[in-house]
Amino acid sequence: MSSVRIWVYLAALLALVALGLAWRLRHAPNELATYIAGRSFILTEQGRVAPKGMTLIVGDSIVERAWHPEVCGAAAFNAGISSAALRDLAPLAKTLVPILQPSRIILAIGTNDAAVGRVVPTEEWIGAYGQLLDALPKDRVELVAAPAVEPGKLASGLIDSADLAAKNRALRALAIRSGVAFAPSIAIATGDGLHPTAAGAAAWRANVELHCPRASGRKDRP
């Protein structure tokens, strides 16, 4: 085989390898999407065997990584999913509510929608949040503003603090318009600037419980 033919053969082989790699990169499963889908499935299956009347908490890693045995006077069903945004958690909430028939529905969503590189415009985000709220029994819902990011720690640079503050203001306005309970943003102790320590989780839970929807259907004013 001549050297020219060898080079042509090698070039063709490299082209095929490149095409194969490009196809794999294009079609490789998104690990985050796979995790969120798997966790959503597991939570739904757990919900089918869980007692009725629990307090459902829907949120991201701030919820998932914390221990909340009881919230608002009932055992808590922790439906937190790390790295999940509103677009991921809204379908989960709509699925779990009729299955669990919760006494309270705590929605603690928003931090990942303000993540650097993943920021969802606030107007778009609050519109989608409003659609979720319209699909739920509002007398049982509490909207929880995202905790303030603790500055100077490892994960603090992952969140656009100004955008998160704007989303919290929009969420408060949505709660007022909709007549639902609202827990404002607070600063909590964290290990990395974002995820609460045990003390931080306890403070977060105490803030939520200050604003629980009342059993009669009446709500604390936002």
For residues 6 and 172, which has the higher predicted lDDT (pLDDT)?
A: 172
CATH homologous superfamily of domain 31-209? SGNH hydrolase (3.40.50.1110)
pLDDT in tens, 46-82: 999 999 999 999 999 999 999 999 999 999 999 999 9
3-state DSSP: the chain helix, strand, coil percent, rounded to 5?
55, 15, 30
Angle in degrees, CA 143, 148, 154, rounded to 5: 130
% of residues, the chain, pLDDT over 90: 78
Please give the pLDDT value at position 155. 84
> Crossing angle for the helix pair 31-49 and 86-100, nearest 10 degrees?
10
Q: What is the pTM of this model?
A: 0.84
Phi, psi (5° rounding) for residue 215? -60, -30
7 pLDDT higher than 60: no
Domain assignments of the chain as residue spans, ordered by start: 31-209
Please give the pLDDT value at position 220. 41
